[in-house]
């Protein structure tokens, strides 16, 4: 009994359909969920110091969220300065280094929440920003600048 082999044109069409389906799946998976803390950082390493600027956004809060910002420097400390805003609701922003909470600020709509501190860095140098909502909250945006010391 002979096995059916589709014509070359049909095989080419099926191959292209598979490629397009794969691209669509990959492209749709690249968008972070709305409750994720999305960061975008640019860093400069000027030995022995490291400097960086980051933007952080959270579209909508479903639960507590956080992000980690890595500092590529052999220095044990970093000076951090940041400002955050929120469109709706109340959000508490906590900055954590190796020794725990270094600074906190509460955000309300229409107010700028400053955050400044010296942070002790660990073996894997960096710091965490934690965002805790109180009730419904959305539209967090902020900028963070750091410099190792």
Burial of 84: CB neighbours in 10 Å, binned 0-12, 13-18, 19+: buried
What is the pLDDT at residue 109? 95
What is the pLDDT at residue 29? 61
Q: Which DSSP string corresponds to 112-149?
A: -EEEEEEEE--SS-EEEEEEEEEEEEEEEEEEEEEEE-
Judged by DSSP in three states, 13 sits in: helix
What is the pLDDT at residue 140? 95
pTM over 0.85: no
**pLDDT tens-digit profile, the chain (149 residues):** 677 766 777 677 667 777 776 676 566 667 788 888 899 999 887 777 789 999 999 999 988 999 999 888 888 888 999 999 999 999 999 999 888 899 999 999 989 999 999 998 877 788 999 999 998 999 999 999 999 88
């Amino acid at each position: 009994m002979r096995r059916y082999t589709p014509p070359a044109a049909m095989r080419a069409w099926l191959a292209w359909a598979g490629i397009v389906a794969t691209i669509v799946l990959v492209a749709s998976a690249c968008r972070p969920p709305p409750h994720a803390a999305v960061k975008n950082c640019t860093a400069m390493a000027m030995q022995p110091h490291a400097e960086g600027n980051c933007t952080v956004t959270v579209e909508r809060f479903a639960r507590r969220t956080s992000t980690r910002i890595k500092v590529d420097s052999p220095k044990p400390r970093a000076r951090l300065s940041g400002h955050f805003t929120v469109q709706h609701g109340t959000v508490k922003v906590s900055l954590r280094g190796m020794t725990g909470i270094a600074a906190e600020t509460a955000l309300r709509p229409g107010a700028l929440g400053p955050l400044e501190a010296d942070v002790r860095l660990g073996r894997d140098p960096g710091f965490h920003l934690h965002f805790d909502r109180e009730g419904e909250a959305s539209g967090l945006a902020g900028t963070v600048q750091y410099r190792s010391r």
